[in-house]
Homo-oligomer: A and B are copies of this chain.
Amino acid sequence: MIGIVGCGLIGSSWAAAFLRGGHDVVVFDPAVDGQTLRERTVHRLSVDASGGAPPSAPGRLTVADAFDALSGCAYVQESIAEDASAKRALFSQLDRALATETIVASSTSALCMSDLAADLPGRARFVVAHPATPPHALPCVEIVPAPFTAEEIVMRTEALLSGIGQTPVRLAHEMPGFAMNRLQGALLLEMIDLVREGVVTPGGADALIRDGFGMRWALLGPLEAVHLNAPGGINDYFTRYRAMFDGFCPDGTRLDDLLTPQTRAALQEYCLAETPLSQAQARRDRRDDALAALRAWRAERAV
């Protein structure tokens, strides 16, 4: 049994994701009436199922009217408002109410667990599982352990999420804004620069991504993508375009300061495992066909 506490846009989406994955789910949100909770969740399930492969038998949804209903859960996903005090109070309550082996994961996008659960007896079971929003539609979930989070809790969280088709991405440690928003932040700040400098309009800046790289990154990670854009793979890419990247680096730094030999080797190893150079052209052809199909799909569908 999976518990969802806080059932707004994110909580109801989590509920749909776990139900689709075959888990029974109990949702609890004292601020929302049961009928609304059920409708939100069921809508999300129906939309997802309509577009793709039929889901395996979905689990059973229970709308709880009392906190006690969570006591039988193996995993609780907290998705209440982004308020540190409210989360601290809730975690204290959950730590007392839940069986010791129950995992408590938070959907927080920016608060560190070491600031929310450090004083609790059961703090080792608390972890951040911050989803791309909404999680029933976007697979990525960044897993951010506090220094006190047990390794076993992280591994069980990853296994649970992988099991329902999500993509857990574990960070080595807490950091402000975690990694997902830090990546988005880098792109947004660069867009803001371009607009402030008068190089493009805001609409132009959006189009540069939405009608270009955004479509590519919906199919391939940015590293995998540049690996395909040079004959010798990602290492060759960053060698060919070194001068351009030097120009993008913060003042006083150059690409080679950031892309150390060790980092280069790690990127190369990963990319070659994904796509050996002997398969790169076939992968490019598949990419291009998929992108053309994505363009056609998008044109048919109003967003």
Contact = CB atoms under 8 A, between A and B. Distances in A.
Interface of A: 9, 13, 44, 47-48, 50-53, 110, 132-134, 136-140, 142, 167, 169-173, 175-177, 179-196, 198-224, 226, 229, 241, 244-245, 247-250, 258-260, 262-263, 266-267, 269-271, 274, 284, 286-303
A177 B248 contact: yes
A260 to B, nearest CB: 6
A285 to B, nearest CB: 9
A110 B241 CA distance: 9
Contact of A222 (B48, B132, B206): B206
A201 B221 CA distance: 13
Contacts of A134: 288, 291-292
Nearest to A173: B199
Contact of A213 (B136, B171, B184, B258): B184
A187 B191 CA distance: 11
B177 A244 contact: yes
Contacts of A250: 250
25 contacts: A47-B292, A48-B292, A48-B296, A52-B296, A110-B244, A137-B291, A137-B294, A140-B210, A167-B211, A172-B199, A179-B204, A179-B205, A183-B208, A183-B209, A185-B245, A186-B248, A187-B187, A191-B223, A192-B258, A196-B263, A202-B223, A202-B269, A206-B270, A214-B218, A215-B218
A202 B271 contact: yes
Dominant secondary structure at the A interface? helix
Contact of A211 (B139, B297, B302, B303): B139
Contacts of A270: 201-203, 206
Contacts of A218: 210, 214-215, 217-218, 294, 298
Contacts of A247: 176-177
Contacts of A259: 192, 196
